[in-house]
Amino acid sequence: MMQQSAIVVLGLLAAAWLSVKTGKLDRAGGLTGFGIGWALYLGTGLTGLVMLGVFFGLGTGATAWRRDFKQAKGLAEPRQGRRTAGQVLANGGVAGGLGGLAWLFPAYTELLTFMAAASLASATSDTFSSELGNVYGRRFFNILTFRPDTRGLDGVVSLEGTLLGMLGSGLLAGIYALGAGWSERVVWVGIAGVLGNLADSVLGATLERRQYLSNDAVNFLNTLLGALFALGMERAFC
């Protein structure tokens, strides 16, 4: 166990260093990512760590995809896509916190791992919907009014982006299934991720557009709601 933990620490340090070196994260973001990864490993083992790694890899790839097109449309992430500590916490903080709780309360490890998976599924779904939906979407609508709206504005969705978000959530649910085994919880993870993403769009169309919430705050609530949706569905249907 000690040997595995040492390997994980070295792996997390190497991943953080490489992410900073390649411009994916700034230094504070790299340290924050290391802390979230370590908390997930302590509480949920390799399952949580792999889910985090898959989310980061998929999210980074989606952000970089067709960057020239996004820049031309004014849709590209600022700072060449380099994520800050605040952005890392907004997307992974809930999962890291659930990992920490699982470490403190090991009797609830399975439940908290399940909720962490839903949180990361929500983050992945949101990233796919926004980063890839803005590239492949054809018609864009305000999620509240369903009237045509401007691509890239808060709360604006497309059919293509929504379907891509479902794909992202499903991928994280599949990773969760590989680590935790097949059960009804895998379905709840996938659904919760999509619901969290839709909630993100509603918050964007309301509170974020009115500048009551920042984008990081909305992303944090997206991941928190994803975890809570999963918990609620399990309590309701299991």
pLDDT tens for 160-198 read: 999 999 999 999 999 999 999 999 999 999 999 999 999
pLDDT of 64: 87
The C-alpha atoms of residue 154 and residue 174 are separated, in whole angstroms, by 29
Task: Please state, for a pLDDT cut of 90, what percent of the chain lies above it.
Answer: 85
Provide the phi-psi class of 82: left if phi over 0, else alpha when psi is between -120 and 50, else beta: beta
- Those residues whose C-beta lies under 8 Å from the C-beta of residue 225, and which sit 6 or more positions away, are 122, 195, 196, 199
pLDDT of 69: 85
Could you give the number of structural domains in the chain?
1
The C-alpha atoms of residue 140 and residue 191 are separated, in whole angstroms, by 23
Q: Residue 208 gets which letter from DSSP?
A: I
pLDDT of 124: 98
pLDDT of 238: 66
Closest Cα to residue 219, out of 70, 55, 79? Answer: 55
67 to each of 14, 70, 81, 124, how far by Cα in Å? 26, 5, 9, 18
- Those residues whose C-beta lies under 8 Å from the C-beta of residue 10, and which sit 6 or more positions away, are none
- Angle at alpha carbon of residue 49, lines to 133 and 201, rounded to 5°: 25
The C-alpha atoms of residue 96 and residue 75 are separated, in whole angstroms, by 29
Which 3 state secondary structure label does DSSP give 151? Answer: coil
Write out the residue range of the structural domain in which residue 125 sits: 2-237
Q: What is the pTM of this model?
A: 0.95
Q: What is the mean pLDDT of residues 227-236?
A: 94
Identify the weakest region by mean pLDDT among 68-77, 111-120, 172-181. 68-77
Q: What is the mean pLDDT of residues 94-122?
A: 98
101 vs 1, which has greater pLDDT?
A: 101
Inform me whether the pLDDT recorded for 75 exceeds 80. Answer: no
The C-alpha atoms of residue 60 and residue 154 are separated, in whole angstroms, by 20
